[in-house]
Amino acid sequence: MATLSDDTLRKILIQIQQTAIQSQKALSVSTQQTAAKERERRILQLTMDEIGALDEDVNLYKGVGKMFMMMPRKEMEQELKSQEKELTDDINNLNKKTKYLEKQYNEAQAQLRDIFHHAPKQ
């Protein structure tokens, strides 16, 4: 097996460390985004439950900037369902991204362990 120069090994080690750090940061951001989307989805579900408990003839109002607009119940329910579907899709995509980043981070950690485990003792 050909030995690599110290400079080359140092560059490889730095690159692996940077990959691990970037993966860890991206993983943290992805986890925070997932938590925020979950909160939004839960609020939407609670809103839909509250609207479902109301009578059919009750007026519903949606906040638009600094004012409120009256909306038909069916339209409001459809809008909330589409928002919930969009949030669910976003959460699923973020979960996939999180799994990928975890894998990338674990691989970088394993590479670092291998390098230090197989490093010659001085």
Handedness of CA 116, 117, 120, 122 (dihedral sign): positive
Q: Give CA separation, 55 vs 28, 58, 73, in Å.
A: 43, 6, 10
**Residue 84 falls inside a structural domain:** yes
**Residue 54 falls inside a structural domain:** yes
Please give the share of the chain, as a percent, with pLDDT higher than 90: 67
**Residue 6 falls inside a structural domain:** no
Average of per-residue pLDDT across 38-50: 96
How many domains, in total, are found in the chain?
1
- Provide the residue range defining the domain that includes 67: 39-89
For residue 40, pLDDT beyond 90: yes
Higher pLDDT pick, 3 / 46: 46
**Residue 64 falls inside a structural domain:** yes
What is the chain's mean pLDDT, rounded? 90
For residue 121, pLDDT beyond 70: no
DSSP 43-107: HHHHHHHHHHHS-TT--EEEEETTEEEEE-HHHHHHHHHHHHHHHHHHHHHHHHHHHHHHHHHHH
For residue 1, pLDDT beyond 60: no
CATH number at residue 84: 1.10.287.370
**Residue 71 falls inside a structural domain:** yes
Residue 51: its pLDDT value, please? 92
**Residue 18 falls inside a structural domain:** no
**Residue 34 falls inside a structural domain:** no
In tens, the pLDDT along 46-89 reads 999 999 998 888 889 999 999 999 999 989 999 999 999 999 99
Q: How confident is the model at residue 2 (pLDDT cuts 50, 70, 90)?
A: very low
Question: What residues have CB less than 8 Å from 63, skipping those under 6 apart?
Answer: none
